[in-house]
Structure 1
Amino acid sequence: MAKRRKKGPDFTPKAEDRHWYGKRQAARSAKPAARRPGGEGAAPRTPARRAPDAPELVTGRNPVVEALRAGVPGSALYVTSDSDERVREAIQIAGDRRIPLLEAGRPELDRLTDGAVHQGIALQVRPYKYAHPDDLLAGPATLIVAADGITDPRNLGAIVRSAAAFGATGVVVPERRAAGVTAGTWKASAGTLATLPVARATNLARQLKSYQQAGCFVAGLDARGTVTTAELEAADGPFVLVVGSEGKGLGRLVGETCDMLVRIPMGERAESLNAGVAAGIALYEIAQRRS
């Protein structure tokens, strides 16, 4: 049995026996837990959000080389060393395209890329300059592709590529909740973004109404359409083709704004097509009729 300590001049009471103990414990319970980096009570780290017009960074040896080969417009190439063959190739392409080469230490690249894996190289992409939606109007020759709800930059790039191939005057995308022009869009467009303007609309349904007031016929690609793209007689004049996302299709307001819903005839093996593929097929049919 443990011996009991006698009270005397040198006796020290336990903390819980002191008069202030309960008050201090209550005060500690009222305080929020201390934030410790990576420890218990630490706030979850939220990735830094890039401003809409801020330069995009492509990081990693292979992605940077692929972006440069695809003609993605760069404003600077950050490199820590040229000891790797892929880094040397990136430096060579950047030099041929007169992209400034900047030597940067790993700590600086860590800061620029917000801690992303960069392998000692990063390409800063110039912010894309969007056109005004009304700039895509070209009188009787107007052929505009509106992308509704396309969130994958590669799909948008494929749509731009098809639009350029079949004589479109431009592509318009919503300003919010949709893919914009990124390095991935540039690569998928195979360089056609350099010749075909892309515009951003604050409200796509409202912009489509503006196109209708300007004399354009607006048709939306939708499986519910009663007319096929090959039967679309209205495509002879000023025309807007609206392409929806592969999963959700056209948004309700956008679909209601369209003058007509058209479909691509398909067999029973596939229920839907990738947005980029669907846009290419429809634009081919429209180009045949307009020619």
Structure 2
Amino acid sequence: MRPPRSPDAPHKPKRSWPPRDKSAPRRDFPRDHDGPVVLYGFHSVVEALSNPKRRPIRLLATENALARLTEAGLAERIAPEIVRPGAIDRLLTPDAVHQGLYLEAEALPALTIETIPEDGLVLVLDQITDPHNVGAIVRTAAAFAVDAIVTTARHSPEATGVLAKSASGGLEHAPLVLVQNLSRALHALGERGYLRIGLDSEGPATLDETGFGSGGIALVLGAEGKGLRQLTRDTCDRLARLDMPGAIKSLNVSNAAAIALHVARRAKPL
């Protein structure tokens, strides 16, 4: 019979089973919001290195990828570590397309609601959690010169990894504003003169028919399937829909964002 454990004996941590394979590739990125941002892929890395506000920490590059960076005049921004593609593969998920470039960098300076221009064009994301969708929205927002993308610190993907790759460099041009409470953030936008328009399939008018006024515009998008939460709907000034003449009446949220921004930018040109 095993003798009883002494209360002064050091505690041994329980082992998990099966044991973790330390040689297996990393499957996710750090959840520490203060940690480095992971960027990979040619466009994402090039835009980051071209952005003087983005401070690079570590760059891994294959010889071919470094040659492309040299052609773009960006090879001198940070001394790269020349590696084989497999070294980058082991740092990313199996389906990641890195094109021979992997960059760790500091997060961009955070914006607040108060620093957004009073007459700007803003996207507000209500718990859209898919990093591919959010990344595509960021890319579209950068194309339409959106002043900021407001989203919650929780229930939203971090601006790293898959999201950054899907944004294809858009993170350097469409600032993210992380808030703790979306309803309060919408109230703050309203106090600054923003017209808050929630996109809703049951909106009483189409977005084209909605008047945009002369102040700032905040387009509010909900998650696919769930749409806008009730409190978010109640905080919007107006609800508007995107009419689809075809057999399919709904769009991927990133496609809906592109159409909504096209309509809003026509009403609010640069």
Total equivalences in the alignment? 244
- Please give the per-residue CA displacement for 1:161-183, whole angstroms capped at 9, x wherever unaligned: 33333343221111111123224
Identity %, equivalent residues: 29
Which of 244, 253, 260 aligns to 1:275? It is 253
Shift of 1:155: 1.9
- The amino acid that maps onto 2:170 is T
Cα distance between partner residues in 1 of 2:29 and 2:206: 45
Partner of 1:280: helix, strand, or coil?
Answer: helix
2:33 match:
52
Q: 1:37 to 1:177 in 2, by over 3 A?
A: closer
CA contact (8 A) 1:64 1:90 kept: no
1:71 match:
47
* TM, length-normalised to structure 1: 0.69
Which of 46, 61, 64 aligns to 1:89? It is 64
CA contact (8 A) 1:133 1:200 kept: no
Q: 1:190 to 1:121 in 2, by over 3 A?
A: closer
Which segments of 5 or more consecutive residues in structure 2 lack a partner in the other structure?
6-11, 50-55
More contact order relative to length (CA 8 Å, sep ≥ 6) = 2
Divergent runs of 4+, >6 A:
25-28, 45-48, 115-121
Q: Which has the higher helix share?
A: 1
Cα distance between partner residues in 2 of 1:27 and 1:48: 42
Q: 1:52 to 1:211 in 2, by over 3 A?
A: same
2:185 match:
207
CA contact (8 A) 2:113 2:188 kept: no
Q: CA RMSD in A?
A: 3.8
Partner of 2:231: helix, strand, or coil?
Answer: helix
2:110 match:
130
- The amino acid that maps onto 1:206 is R
1:9 match:
none
Q: 1:38 to 1:229 in 2, by over 3 A?
A: same
Q: 1:90 to 1:206 in 2, by over 3 A?
A: same
Q: Larger Rg: 1 or 2?
A: 1
Shift of 1:49: 4.7
Cα distance between partner residues in 2 of 1:167 and 1:67: 17
Cα distance between partner residues in 2 of 1:153 and 1:206: 24
